[in-house]
Amino acid sequence: MDIDREIIRLEASLGGVKTLRKLPGAIFVVDPNIEKIAIHEANVLGIPVIAITDSNCNPDPIDYVIPANDDAQRCIQLFASRIADACLGGLDKREALARSDSAKPDPRKKISRKAQVVEGAGTAYVSKADTFDATAENAGSFSATVVASEEAKVESTEQVK
């Protein structure tokens, strides 16, 4: 009977942890003297801690201190509701941003279509003063001679059979 009560108590206090897919962005603590283990674990994992603290609490392990009476019910309701509203507002902004990003095409995924050039002449721009001579062995079925100069002209382009 005592084991069943202990399981129910642990499930009530720690049951939400097993459904987490990733670490939370921050934790909110009402009384740091009572929640010392949670604050320590958050500090070990690098999770920011937001806490309502009064004069009997050590503010050193807390990242964001809210100096207020952590025993007054109205004070706790005020700060908890404001933090919950801020979290919900941030969630709405994140969802709106995700929807707007999914509507836009991804700039990293450029659709490029290469046209097959069978014959023609044009201008080739080469970064270094270099001569490139492509022959049938190393250029597939086409050969071209490109000489780098000020205008970088294509001297000849012909189809190799």
pLDDT digits (tens, 9 = 90+) for 26-48: 999 999 999 999 899 999 999 99
pLDDT given for residue 118 in this prediction:
53
Tens digits of residue pLDDT in 18-31: 778 888 889 999 99
pLDDT given for residue 10 in this prediction:
85
Q: What angle do CA 67, 25, 46 make, to 5 degrees?
A: 80
CA–CA distance from 146 to each of 116, 143, 155 (Å)? Answer: 19, 10, 6
Segments making up each domain of the chain, as ranges: 23-103, 121-161
Alpha-carbon distance of 110 to 130, in angstroms, equals 30
Please give the CATH topology (third level) of the domain spanning 23-103.
Rossmann fold (3.40.50)
